[in-house]
Amino acid sequence: MLERLVYRSKGAGSIGNLSLFNLLSQARVRNAQLNITGHLIFDGEFFTQWIEGPSESLDALWSSLLKDQRHTEVMLISRVPAKERRFPLWTMAFSSYSSLNSYNIPGFFPVDKQSVTEEVKRLTDATD
Ligand SMILES: Cc1cc2nc3c(=O)[nH]c(=O)nc-3n(C[C@H](O)[C@H](O)[C@H](O)COP(=O)(O)O)c2cc1C
């Protein structure tokens, strides 16, 4: 069954630009294997992530995320069945401030503070 999951977490104090992009590249490799797509937003302090894929894949990723020390205060916002994917083209799209855009990574969407707030709201308020 296709499901989607949204959570928020707090970046560990030590997380820097380069480790973020490493995290993202590795995440995309694993997501491709797990048939997971989604969107990660980082506002400099908090992560919001939308993950969609088969239930078993979500279970596997969720248990990895819960033990990952690169973030804390991991809080599940919603996990519900999904009719279709919202981010079918992205093994993990990533939005953050343009100051992070130094590694030329594909699927990085530089956004300003207001857009981050709006995107986070869109993901966390979604009911479908
Ligand atoms: C904010 C954040 C988002 C992450 N997103 C993903 C992801 O989308 N896919 C993924 O495979 N790993 C992601 N990871 C990394 C996982 O937590 C984990 O390290 C990785 O999947 C390897 O799992 P394992 O340690 O259980 O082998 C993310 C980590 C953090 C801190």
Separation of 47 CA from ligand 1 center, angstroms?
Answer: 12
117, 66 Cβ separation under 8 angstroms = no
Domains of the chain are 2-125 (3.30.70.100)
pLDDT tens string, the chain, 128 residues long: the values are 999 999 999 999 877 787 888 899 999 999 999 999 999 999 989 999 999 999 999 999 999 999 999 999 999 999 999 999 999 999 999 998 877 756 677 788 888 889 999 999 999 998 87
4, 86 Cβ separation under 8 angstroms = yes
pTM score: 0.94
Separation of 27 CA from ligand 1 center, angstroms?
Answer: 6
Burial of 28 (0-12, 13-18, 19+ CB in 10 A): buried
The answer for 52, left when phi > 0, alpha when psi is -120 to 50, beta otherwise, is: beta
Taking CA atoms only, the protein residue closest to ligand 1 atom 23 is 64
**Ligand 1 pocket member 68 (CB < 6 A):** yes
**Ligand 1 pocket member 24 (CB < 6 A):** no
The DSSP 8-state label assigned to residue 91 in this structure reads S
